[in-house]
Amino acid sequence: MIKPSIPKGTRDFGPAVVRKRHYIFQTIRETFELFGFQPLETPAMENLSTLTGKYGEEGDKLIFKILNNGDILGQAQMAKDSRELATLLCEKALRYDLTIPFARYVVMRQHELALPFKRYQMQPVWRADNPQRGRYREFYQCDADVVGSHSLLNEVELLLIYDRVFSRLGMQGYEVRINNRKILSGLAELIGKPEQLMDITIAIDKLDKIGIQGVEKELLDRGLSQQDVDIINNFLRIDGNNDEKLEQLQVLLQSSTTAQKGIAELSFVLNSGLAKFQSPPILDVTLARGLNYYTGLIVEAKAPPSVKMGSIGGGGRYDDLTGLFGLPGLSGVGISFGVDRIYDVLEELQLFPATAQQGTRVLFLHMGEQSLPAAFQYLMQLREKGVAAELFHEPAKMDKQMKYADKRGIPYVVIIGENELQENSLSIKNLQTGQQQKIKVEELAGFDFK
């Protein structure tokens, strides 16, 4: 018999991990709800045609496809290459992100939805990426998007959501960095090569990894002149506080009306005075975000610098996402939380509260048939009070039962032996302190199993 295993890049989540993940999800969900976002869930399987062509050529290769059921041999014989074979054999595929299913949903329900539609979605996605540290083939995304509104109030609200969630999680030192794609467009205009916007964006996006000289080289490789590169260099060296940066942008990009629009948008988001942030967003002109559908604000959330983790969330404004499915003209803006990375950050900084790790609070020892009815009665009494409690499943040596409590991390055991039975009392042992005390049965309901 082969040793059982799971597919590479996937994970089992045991009890402790599920609880801690649940705490993160709950914090995010609660915030989404307070801000008026509504939950949506879409199927794990989408029609392959819904997904194909939406994530670039590289993305298409990483989509997990689901084999059609029934007779597939005949169809297989018609294929000329692997790609065609996959299309012949598969009509369905696994969700690759939450954005495309959201757009698909909006188009299907356009006549019943109240616009703007503010939805959040927290579900797993699947990608056939090569697994590595922090990168999995199955992972959760947590997205909030507003579709059907151009108002910059949405940008402000989404930034406040980041602020509230990271503050609530106790993640001191997190940073929310923002920029605007219109500024990058303006830059491309300034050097007279608007058609190379994507080349410029992709190169700048690598700044963190390859440094400014690497970006320079990449820009030259992508066909920009040394003069162009010098201008971009000046742009990347813009520095100071948010207001100082905005001023420098204003000067450098004054000839581009697109850039001016981007600067005005950033000004509003940073200086509207409407929102009070725990940790105000930072304007970062070098922020580019590779994905090409953004058209306005772009945002990236970063873990505290003491943790080597980088991005723990991102998003931006995109025009016309639903246009892909035949409903043009709807603008959208959204953010996403990287739950797996947030988990690692909280773990490293030991920020999970004790309550996020609590399971069973009390184990009733099984002291034999005689005291079983009493034990069961008090067990149920605690449960009715909302205290998670268990009874050891069989009479066994005290030592064995204690070991079970210990291994499970159950902090209290209740002992009802002959003495306790006669006295109508219970002995309660706190396994963390080793303290044991006897209480009257009437006191149980009020006892604090903290």
User: Binding site, residues?
Assistant: 97-99, 127, 141, 145, 289, 293-294
Angle between helices 15-34 and 339-348 (to 10 degrees): 110
We find the least distance from the C-beta atom of residue 10 to its own copies, in angstroms, to be 4
Closest to its own copies by CB, 94 or 171: 94
We find the least distance from the C-beta atom of residue 161 to its own copies, in angstroms, to be 10
Query: What does the alpha-carbon distance between residue 350 and residue 344 come to, in Å, rounded to a whole number?
Result: 10
We find the least distance from the C-beta atom of residue 395 to its own copies, in angstroms, to be 9
Closest to its own copies by CB, 153 or 212: 153
We find the least distance from the C-beta atom of residue 256 to its own copies, in angstroms, to be 26
Closest to its own copies by CB, 235 or 352: 352
Query: What does the alpha-carbon distance between residue 159 and residue 112 come to, in Å, rounded to a whole number?
Result: 28
Query: What does the alpha-carbon distance between residue 143 and residue 95 come to, in Å, rounded to a whole number?
Result: 14
Closest to its own copies by CB, 118 or 317: 118
We find the least distance from the C-beta atom of residue 18 to its own copies, in angstroms, to be 4
Q: Which two tokens stand for residue 267?
A: 């000004």
Burial of 13 (0-12, 13-18, 19+ CB in 10 A): exposed
Query: What does the alpha-carbon distance between residue 148 and residue 103 come to, in Å, rounded to a whole number?
Result: 11
Give the type of residue at 1: M
Q: What are the residues facing 430 on neighbouring strands?
A: 412
Query: What does the alpha-carbon distance between residue 230 and residue 354 come to, in Å, rounded to a whole number?
Result: 53
We find the least distance from the C-beta atom of residue 438 to its own copies, in angstroms, to be 24
Q: Which two tokens stand for residue 139?
A: 């992972």
Beta-carbon contacts of 395 under 8 Å, excluding residues fewer than 6 positions away, are 366, 367, 368, 369
| Cβ pair 300, 277 in contact under 8 A | no
Beta-carbon contacts of 394 under 8 Å, excluding residues fewer than 6 positions away, are 366
We find the least distance from the C-beta atom of residue 384 to its own copies, in angstroms, to be 9
Angle between helices 197-205 and 181-190 (to 10 degrees): 120
Beta-carbon contacts of 427 under 8 Å, excluding residues fewer than 6 positions away, are 414, 415, 416, 417, 420, 436, 437, 438
Task: Map tokens 């006897």 to a residue.
Answer: 438
Closest to its own copies by CB, 201 or 371: 371
Closest to its own copies by CB, 3 or 308: 3
We find the least distance from the C-beta atom of residue 207 to its own copies, in angstroms, to be 31
We find the least distance from the C-beta atom of residue 24 to its own copies, in angstroms, to be 14
| Cβ pair 366, 401 in contact under 8 A | yes
Would you list which residues are annotated within the binding site for L-histidine? Answer: 97-99, 127, 141, 145, 289, 293-294
Query: What does the alpha-carbon distance between residue 137 and residue 6 come to, in Å, rounded to a whole number?
Result: 12
Closest to its own copies by CB, 22 or 237: 22
Cis-peptide, bond into residue 116, ω within 30° of zero: yes
Closest to its own copies by CB, 39 or 173: 39
* Cα separation values, 369 from 240, 373, 391, 416, 422, Å: 75, 8, 13, 11, 15
Antiparallel, parallel or unpaired: β 389-391 and 362-364? parallel
